[in-house]
Amino acid sequence: MVGNGEKKAVILLSGGMDSAVCLAIARETGYNIYTLTFDYGQRNRVEIDKARCLAEKYGSEKHLEFGLDLRKIGGSALTDDIEVPRGISQDVPVTYVPARNLIFLSVAVAWAEVLGAGSVFIGANVRDYSGYPDCREDFLKSFEKTAGLGTKKETKVSVKAPLIKMSKAMIVREGRRLGVDFSVTSSCYDPDDAGAECGTCESCRLREKGFVEADR
C-alpha cells in the first residue's frame, strides 16, 4: 500500500474472476484501492457478497456498494424476464445490459473526482468475451476523453483496463501468479438460490474454457 495516499484508484469490482484479477493488479502496482460494486438488480446476487469479500481481502480503503435498479430499464436477461441463453453466442447476446459500463464508469469517475483518485480500473477484455460493445478498447479510450471534458479542469482520471487484450487463459494464469483465490469469485449469469453456478451459461463456459486452456 502506498503510504502517502497520493496514488489512489477506484476499482470496478463485480465479484467475478476478471474484476478480481484487475483488483490484484492494482494492488500489486501500489495503488491505494477504493472498490465500487453495483447492485443493479442483477440475477447473480451472490456476486455482491463475493465483491465484498474481495474488497476486504485486498484491503480496500473503502468499499462502496452503489444501488442502481436497471430492472426499470430491462432489456437484458440479467435484469429482465428473459431466459438466460446456454452456450456461447456469435453476436451480442441478450445478457448484454444496455450501456452498463458507460453508466458504471461514469459513477466511478465521479467518485474518483471526489477522492482525488487519478485512475479507474475496469476488468474489460476483448479476446474471450461475450461481444459486449461497452468492453471494447475504443469505447474505453473514448470514454476517458469524454470524462476529461465533463469534469473539473484539475481532475485527471485515466481509465485502466489491464486485461483488455488477455484471453481467459491468460487471465487465469495472471490471477494465479498474483495469488487470486478464484473460489471467492462468481461469474455465472444464472446461479441457483444457494449461489451455485449453472455451468452452462456463456459466462460459465468462458470461465471453464479459461481454466482448461491455462492448464495446457
Count CB-CB contacts under 10 A for residue 192: 10
Q: Is the pLDDT of residue 2 over 50?
A: no
**Domain-embedded: residue 1:** no
> Reduced to 3 states, what is the DSSP secondary structure of residue 34?
strand
- Residue 194: the pLDDT is 84
What gap in Å lies between CA 26 and CA 100, rounded to an integer?
A: 22
Angle formed at CA 164 by CA 97 and CA 4, multiple of 5 degrees: 100
Q: Characterise 63 by phi-psi region: left (phi > 0), alpha (psi -120 to 50), beta (else).
A: beta
In a domain, 3, yes or no: no
Which CATH number characterizes residue 82's domain?
3.40.50.620
Write out the three cell numbers for 202: 456463456
- Residue numbers of the domain that contains 56: 8-214
**Mean residue pLDDT across the chain:** 92
**Ordered alpha helix ranges (H), 79-167:** 100-115, 137-149
Check whether 1 has a pLDDT greater than 70.
Answer: no
pLDDT tens string 29-66: 999 999 999 999 998 999 999 999 999 999 999 999 99
- Sheet bearing 62-67, strands edge to edge: 62-67, 32-39, 8-12, 119-121, 158-160
Task: Please state the rounded mean pLDDT for residues 149-165.
Answer: 95
Residue for cell digits 466511478? Answer: 108
Q: Pick from 4, 3, 21, 5: which is nearest to 160 by CA?
A: 21
158 SS3 class: strand
3-state helix, strand, coil split of the chain in percent (to 5) is 40, 10, 50
Domain contains 2: no
169-187 pLDDT tens trace: 999 999 999 999 999 999 8
pLDDT digits (tens, 9 = 90+) for 103-142: 999 999 999 999 999 999 999 998 766 678 899 999 999 9
Q: Yes or no: say if 204 and 197 are a contact pair by the CB < 8 Å rule.
A: yes
Whether 28 is in a domain gets the answer: yes
State the total domains in the chain: 1
Domain contains 173: yes
Candidates 152, 153, 186, 179; CA nearest to 16 is 186
Q: pTM of the entire structure?
A: 0.93
Closest residue by Cα to residue 63 from 7, 114, 6, 12: 12
pLDDT per position as a tens digit, 60-112: 999 999 999 999 999 999 999 999 988 777 678 899 999 999 999 999 999 99
Q: Which of 9-23, 174-188, 190-204 has the lowest average pLDDT? A: 190-204
41: alpha, beta or left, given left = phi > 0 and alpha = psi -120 to 50? left
Write down how long the chain is: 216
Write down the pLDDT at residue 12: 98
Look up residue 39 and give its DSSP letter.
E
